[in-house]
C-alpha cells in the first residue's frame, strides 16, 4: 500500500521491516501479521477444550465439597441430601448458563461480567467486576496448578520438597504455550480435555448401569472418616452452606463469555453453542457423580478423593481404568489454569483499552495474543505459588468469592438491561453506551431469570464470605477494593494526560526565532568538541560550562580551552563540596530565567557511548543523570551528541 497526498505533504507506505528471528520466536513461533488475526480464531471443538477445562475440572471436587460440610454435622444422614442439593446447584447452573448465553448474543464483541456491568451499571461496578475476575483468574492458576502438583507429589513423594518449583515450572510452560497463540494452545490442550470427559462419562455410565443391575455395592475399605459425636439438627444455614460449597461446580462457567472474540464467525452462535454443550456435560457429570457418591456411600476424606472411591467401586479395584481416571483428573486440574490464561489477557486488554490498566496490556505481541497479560498472569501466579509454597489448603479460601461477585454483577446487569428493553416500544432499537438495545416481547421472563440468578449468586457469595472469612476470604475483601482504587488512579492519569495532549482550544505558541545553547563539558576532549560543533551550528549564543570538582581540573580545562575553544564562552564553576549536578542545574536555571517566549534554551550534552553497554558501569553516565533532572523543567530542550568509541 502506498498513497501520496501532495497538497498536505503526506506520504503513506507499508514499512518493509520484518521481525528478526530471535530466541523468543524459536519458542513461540514465527511472528504473525495483524491481517492474520482472523485465521487465529478457533471452532467449537477446540473452543470447548480451551474454555471448559476450568469448569469441567470442578466436577473433580464439587460433590466432595458438599459431602464435607454435611457429614461433619449429620454423619450418615448426609447421603439423603447430596442429590437434592446437587439438583439445586444444577438449576442455578442452568440459570447462569441461560444468562450467559443471552449475554453472548447481546455482546458479540466479548463480554463477561466486566462489559455487562460497565454498559448497564457504569464504571465503578465494572471495575469491581474486573478486579474480582482478574483476582480470580490469578487464583485459578495458582490453585489449579498447585492441586495438580499435589496429586503428582502424592504419587511420587520424593517430589514433595520441590512442589513450589515444579508448579512454577508448569506455569511457565503453560505461559509459553499460550504465547504461541490461542489456536495452537487449544490444539495442544484439546486431547487431555476430551480424555477427561471420556473417562468420566465412562465411569459414571458404568456406575449407573451397575446401580440398575444392582451389582454396585458401597465403597470397600473406605478411607477413615470421623463421624460427629452429636448429630446436629438439619438447618437452613447448613443446607445453604453445603449448597454454596457445592457451587464450586460453577466456577469457570463465565470463561466463554469473556473469550467470544477467540471464536470463528459466526462468533456469538459458536460461542453460545459451546457454552450450552459445556453446561450439559458439566451438569450431567456432576449429577451422576453426586448420585453415585450417595449410592456407594463415599466418605469425605483428605486421604482419598470421592472420585477415587467412585472409580475403584465402579471398576472393582485399582486397575488400568481406575488409573486412567486418576491421571485424567490430575491433568484437567492443571489445565484449568489454561482457561485463566485464555481469559485474563483478554479481560485486562479490555480494561487497558478503557484506560484502567497500563495501556501496554492492550497491545498484541508477535503471535497476536496479549503477551503482556499472559506474562503478567504467569508472574503474579508464580509469586503467589512461591509465597504460599503451593499449598492448596492455604489458597482455596481466597478463591470463588470473586467468581460469584462477578456472576452477581453480570446477571444483575443483564436484568437491568431487560428492564430498559421493557421500556422500549415494540420494534424500537436504541443504542446506549455502544451496545444495541432491541425491543423483545419476552423481556419480562428473561429479566426474572437473570434477576433470580443474580439473587442466588449474591446469596452464595455472602455465605462464602461469612463462612470462609477467617480462612483467608478477608484478604480478597481487601484486595478487590485496593485494585479498584489502583484502576481508577490509572484512569485519572490517562485522562489527565489526554487532556494535556489534546489539541482542542490549542493556540500554537510563538515561533522559535532565537536559540541559547549551553554545553556542559566534563573535560576538553573530542566528544566535547563534537557537541560544541553541533551547538555552534544552532546558534551564536553558546556557553560551555565546566564544573571543577578539583581545582586542578579547572586549570586544565582553562588551558585547553585557549587552544580548542575557538572563541566560545566557557564558564568554570568550582565546586567545593564536590557536587557535579547541582551547580550545573543552578547555572542552567539562572540562564533559563532570562529566556524570552520566542527563545529556546537547548542543553547540548556530549554523550560518550562505549562499544558495549556493560562498559557504561565504568563511567559516571552524567549525560543520563542530567537528562533525567532536566526533563522535569518546562521549556528546556535536551540534545545528546553521542560520541562513539569503537
Beta strands in 502-568 (DSSP E): 514-520, 542-548
Residues 340-379 touching its own copies, rule: CB under 8 A, are: 358-360, 363-366
Residues 489-528 touching its own copies, rule: CB under 8 A, are: 490, 493-494, 496-497, 500-503, 506, 508-509, 511-513, 515, 524-527
Among 389, 550, 596, 625, binds its own copies (CB under 8 A): 550
Query: Alpha-carbon torsion 284, 285, 288, 290, what sign?
Result: negative
Long-range CB contacts (within 8 A, 24+) of 14-19: 19/366
Residues 29-58 touching its own copies, rule: CB under 8 A, are: 31-35
Contact 392, 150 (CB under 8 A): yes
Among 191, 574, 596, 625, binds its own copies (CB under 8 A): 574
Taking CB under 8 A as the binding criterion, the range among 188-196, 316-324, 471-479, 576-584 that sits at the site for its own copies is 576-584
Among 537, 552, 594, 597, binds its own copies (CB under 8 A): 537
Question: Minimal CA–CA distance to 373: which of 399, 353, 355, 347?
Answer: 347
Query: For its own copies, which is the closer residue by CB, 426 or 576?
Result: 576
Query: For its own copies, which is the closer residue by CB, 44 or 364?
Result: 364
Contact 568, 542 (CB under 8 A): yes
Q: Does residue 549 belong to the site contacting its own copies (CB under 8 A)? A: yes
SS3 call for 583: helix
Taking CB under 8 A as the binding criterion, the range among 61-69, 88-96, 449-457, 561-569 that sits at the site for its own copies is 561-569
Q: Does residue 444 belong to the site contacting its own copies (CB under 8 A)? A: no
x/- track of binding to its own copies for residues 9-28 (CB under 8 A): xxxxxxxxxxx---------
Residues 250-269 touching its own copies, rule: CB under 8 A, are: none
Q: Does residue 594 belong to the site contacting its own copies (CB under 8 A)? A: no
Residues 604-623 touching its own copies, rule: CB under 8 A, are: 607-610, 615, 617-620
Query: For its own copies, which is the closer residue by CB, 95 or 630?
Result: 630
Query: For its own copies, which is the closer residue by CB, 292 or 524?
Result: 524
Q: Does residue 577 belong to the site contacting its own copies (CB under 8 A)? A: yes
Minimal distance in Å, beta carbon 521 to its own copies? 11
Count of residues near its own copies by CB under 8 A: 108
x/- track of binding to its own copies for residues 306-345 (CB under 8 A): ----------------------------------------
Query: For its own copies, which is the closer residue by CB, 74 or 484?
Result: 484
Contact 47, 277 (CB under 8 A): no
Minimal distance in Å, beta carbon 645 to its own copies? 5
Long-range CB contacts (within 8 A, 24+) of 194-202: 194/49, 195/328, 195/331, 196/56, 196/57, 196/328, 196/329, 196/331, 196/332, 197/56, 197/281, 197/285, 199/321, 199/324, 199/325, 199/328, 200/59, 200/285, 200/289, 200/325, 200/328, 201/284, 201/285, 202/321
* Rounded Cα distance, 149 and 209, in Å: 33
Minimal distance in Å, beta carbon 611 to its own copies? 9
Query: For its own copies, which is the closer residue by CB, 309 or 607?
Result: 607
Contact 65, 245 (CB under 8 A): yes
> What is the C-alpha R_g of the chain?
33
Name the CA dihedral angle for 344, 346, 348, 353, rounded to a multiple of 10 degrees: 180
Beta-carbon contacts of residue 617 (< 8 Å; ≥ 6 apart): none
Please give the span between the terminal C-alpha atoms of the chain, in angstroms, as a whole number: 40
Amino acid at each position: 500500500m502506498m498513497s501520496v497526498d501532495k497538497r498536505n505533504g503526506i506520504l503513506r507506505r507499508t514499512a518493509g521491516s520484518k521481525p528478526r528471528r530471535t530466541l523468543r520466536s524459536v519458542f513461540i513461533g514465527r511472528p504473525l501479521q495483524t491481517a492474520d488475526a482472523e485465521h487465529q480464531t478457533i471452532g467449537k471443538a477446540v473452543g470447548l477444550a480451551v474454555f471448559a477445562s476450568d469448569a469441567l475440572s470442578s466436577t473433580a471436587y464439587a460433590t466432595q465439597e458438599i459431602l464435607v460440610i454435611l457429614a461433619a454435622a449429620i454423619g450418615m444422614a448426609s447421603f439423603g441430601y447430596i442429590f437434592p442439593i446437587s439438583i439445586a446447584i444444577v438449576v442455578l447452573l442452568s440459570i447462569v448458563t441461560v444468562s450467559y448465553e443471552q449475554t453472548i448474543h447481546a455482546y458479540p464483541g466479548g463480554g463477561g461480567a466486566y462489559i455487562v456491568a460497565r454498559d448497564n451499571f457504569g464504571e465503578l461496578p465494572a471495575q469491581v467486576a474486573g478486579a474480582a475476575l482478574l483476582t480470580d483468574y490469578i487464583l485459578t492458576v495458582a490453585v489449579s496448578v498447585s492441586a495438580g502438583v499435589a496429586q503428582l507429589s502424592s504419587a511420587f513423594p520424593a517430589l514433595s520438597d520441590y512442589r513450589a518449583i515444579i508448579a512454577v515450572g508448569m506455569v511457565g510452560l503453560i505461559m509459553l504455550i499460550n504465547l504461541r497463540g490461542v489456536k495452537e494452545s487449544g490444539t495442544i490442550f484439546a486431547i487431555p480435555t476430551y480424555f477427561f470427559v471420556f473417562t468420566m462419562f465412562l465411569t459414571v455410565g458404568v456406575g449407573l448401569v451397575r446401580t440398575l443391575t444392582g451389582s454396585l455395592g458401597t465403597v470397600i475399605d473406605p478411607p477413615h472418616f470421623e463421624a460427629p459425636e452429636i448429630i446436629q439438627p438439619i438447618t437452613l444455614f447448613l443446607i445453604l452452606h453445603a449448597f454454596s460449597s457445592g457451587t464450586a461446580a460453577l466456577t469457570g462457567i463465565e470463561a466463554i463469555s469473556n473469550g467470544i472474540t477467540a471464536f470463528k464467525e459466526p462468533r456469538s452462535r459458536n460461542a453460545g453453542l459451546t457454552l450450552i454443550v459445556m453446561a450439559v456435560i458439566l451438569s450431567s457429570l456432576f449429577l451422576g457423580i453426586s448420585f453415585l457418591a450417595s449410592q456407594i456411600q463415599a466418605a469425605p476424606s483428605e486421604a482419598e478423593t470421592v472420585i477415587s472411591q467412585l472409580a475403584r467401586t465402579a471398576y472393582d479395584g485399582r486397575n488400568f481404568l481406575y488409573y486412567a481416571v486418576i491421571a485424567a483428573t490430575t491433568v484437567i486440574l492443571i489445565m484449568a489454569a489454561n482457561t485463566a490464561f485464555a481469559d485474563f489477557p483478554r479481560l485486562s486488554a479490555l480494561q487497558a483499552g478503557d484506560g484502567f490498566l497500563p495501556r501496554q496490556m492492550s497491545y498484541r505481541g508477535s503471535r497476536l495474543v496479549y503477551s503482556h497479560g499472559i506474562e503478567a498472569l504467569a508472574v503474579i501466579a508464580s509469586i503467589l505459588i512461591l509465597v504460599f509454597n503451593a499449598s492448596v489448603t492455604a489458597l482455596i479460601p481466597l478463591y470463588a468469592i470473586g467468581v460469584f461477585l462477578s456472576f452477581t454483577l453480570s446477571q444483575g446487569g443483564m436484568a437491568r438491561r431487560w428492564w430498559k428493553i421493557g421500556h422500549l416500544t415494540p420494534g424500537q432499537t436504541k443504542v446506549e453506551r455502544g451496545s444495541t438495545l432491541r425491543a423483545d416481547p419476552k423481556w419480562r421472563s428473561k429479566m426474572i431469570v437473570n434477576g433470580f440468578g443474580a439473587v442466588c449468586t449474591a446469596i452464595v457469595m455472602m455465605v462464602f464470605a461469612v463462612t470462609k472469612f477467617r480462612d483467608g476470604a478477608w484478604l480478597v475483601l481487601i484486595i478487590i477494593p485496593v485494585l479498584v482504587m489502583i484502576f481508577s488512579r490509572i484512569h485519572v492519569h490517562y485522562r489527565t494526560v489526554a487532556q494535556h495532549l489534546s489539541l482542542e482550544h490549542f493556540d500554537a505558541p510563538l515561533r522559535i526565532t532565537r536559540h541559547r545553547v549551553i554545553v556542559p563539558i566534563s573535560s576538553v576532549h573530542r566528544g566535547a568538541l563534537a557537541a560544541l560543533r553541533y551547538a555552534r551550528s544552532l546558534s551564536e549564543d553558546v556557553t560551555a560550562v565546566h564544573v571543577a570538582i578539583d581545582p586542578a581540573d579547572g586549570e586544565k580545562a582553562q588551558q585547553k580551552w585557549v587552544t580548542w575553544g575557538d572563541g566560545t564562552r566557557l564558564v568554570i564553576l568550582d565546586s567545593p563540596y564536590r557536587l557535579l549536578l547541582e551547580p550545573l542545574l543552578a547555572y542552567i536555571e539562572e540562564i533559563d530565567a532570562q529566556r524570552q517566549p520566542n527563545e529556546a534554551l537547548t542543553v547540548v550534552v556530549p554523550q560518550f557511548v562505549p562499544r558495549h553497554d556493560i562498559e557504561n558501569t565504568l563511567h559516571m553516565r552524567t549525560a543520563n543523570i542530567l537528562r533525567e533532572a532536566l526533563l522535569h523543567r518546562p521549556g528546556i530542550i535536551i540534545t545528546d551528541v553521542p560520541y562513539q568509541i569503537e
